[in-house]
Amino acid sequence: MIKLFRGLLVVVLCCAATLVAADEKNILVTSGSDRATPIAVVPFGWQGGAVLPEDMAEIVSNDLRNSGYYSPIPKQNMISLPTQASEVIFRDWKALNAQYVMVGNIVPAGGRLQIQYALFNVATEQQVLTGNVSGTNDQLRDMAHYIADQSFEKLTGIKGAFSTRMLYVTAERFSENNTRFTLQRSDYDGARAVTLLQSREPILSPRFAPDGKRIAYVSFEQKRPRIFVQHIDTGRREQITNFEGLNGAPAWSPDGSKLAFVLSKDGNPEIYVMNLASRALNRVTNDSSIDTEPFFGKDGSTIYFTSDRGGKPQIYKTNISGGGAERVTFIGNYNANPKLSADEKTLVMIHRQDGFTNFKVAVQDLARGSVKILTDSNLDESPTVAPNGTMVIYATRQQGRGVLMLVSINGRVRLPLPTAQGEVREPSWSPYLN
């Protein structure tokens, strides 16, 4: 079934309710031709006995690949396997056209692991990064993500986002009237998932607070949609809304002091903003159309949202103090669920081209107005952007099952993320956590 607004209609259906021509500068881009930089992450040396539970080099390699900037050389193609700087033979890596090579060594010490690593520019034969990190066996993934973060920032000047986390919801149906909904938190790549909440009623729209310590989400545990805030470490929950009708689509302000959300208490779904300290409520939009899916700009005053006020779902922006709304998207007959890159130069959205029925993740250059389609699936929804703006995770369907996919913002990488059984949906990327 085609959804009117990909996120809003889920809530509306659960409530049993139904919910300018393009400027000449706007163009649609469907593919790119640039290539990622070849890099070799050599298997790290291990000076202990038993096999380690994680392959650190593989995790680092996957992280760099997922960014879309780098193309790791497969281990089976490597001519040599150095584990420290003195063992690197640069002609081996020049023969493989590698532009960078990383080596590392893991040593057990007093119940902990000491990891030394180094990164080299193959063409200049110069070391560009060296470092060390320590931790326990259980922290191998953390240390690998840390190394990937350090390497990515050194090479690109962009802070790495591999040590971040992700929220998502799974739905496991056991019988017609027995479905279990679970709110999960995992590494950004789907590993190490832990349960934050389980319910027999739907959980929707989980969102990390800017401090990374709280989350907001919609729960139907009272048989009606209500917004809750939960502290991750303690599990303490607080109900934020209890209005008649729709209560949905929470979005945090950049400083974490406010929540924007959608209420239908006065008739149509409209955007509201609540000050969490005082609980003062401010209505932002006032239109006969459906306004939904708010997302704050980094100034804390601008809100992007989806509306059908022009006849079809498109993205608009307005100030939280109210006033007129400015249309942002013009290409395609459907644009919804807006998210912004960290530099606010790129708008990420769910997009449908004119004449097509498929929904895809796309990005719009806000300065030029050009749109580029990132995905090759066809029922995409709920995009969420890495805090450094290099990757997007979204929900889609594969072989009849709801799954999560990762795509790099430059479109070079598209891959499914490993998640729990059941229907998987509603991903949300954390902010930087360190």
The DSSP-derived string for 165-228 is: EEEEEEEEEEETTEEEEEEEEEETTS-S-EEEEEESS-EEEEEE-TTSSEEEEEE-TTSS-EEE
Q: How far apart are CA 158 and CA 146, in angstroms?
A: 14
pLDDT of residue 91: 96
The pLDDT value recorded for residue 30 is 44
pTM of the model as a whole: 0.91
**Residue 116 resides in a domain:** yes
DSSP state of 282: E
Q: Rounded distance, CA 395 to CA 28, Å?
A: 23
**By three-state DSSP, how is residue 343 classified?**
coil
Predicted pLDDT of residue 302:
97
pLDDT at residue number 419: 76
Structural domain includes residue 233: yes
Pair 374, 252 in one domain:
yes
- Give the separation between CA 428 and CA 319, rounded to whole angstroms: 24
Q: Give the pLDDT confidence score for residue 398 in this predicted structure.
A: 87
Dihedral of the CA atoms 314, 315, 316, 320 (nearest 10)? 130
Identify whether residues 132 and 207 lie together within a single domain: no
In the prediction, which pLDDT does 1 show?
Answer: 33
- For 158, the token pair is 């962009």
Q: According to the model, what pLDDT value does residue 18 have?
A: 31
- Which residues, given as ranges, of the chain have pLDDT below 70? 1-34
397 and 269 in a single domain? The answer is: yes
Residue 47: per-residue pLDDT: 87
Are 177 and 314 within one domain?
yes
Residues 330, 369 contacting (CB under 8 angstroms):
yes
The verdict on residue 325 lying in a domain is: yes
Domain of residue 45, residue span = 37-156
Of 156, 190, 217, the one marking the end of a domain is: 156
| pLDDT score for 110 | 86
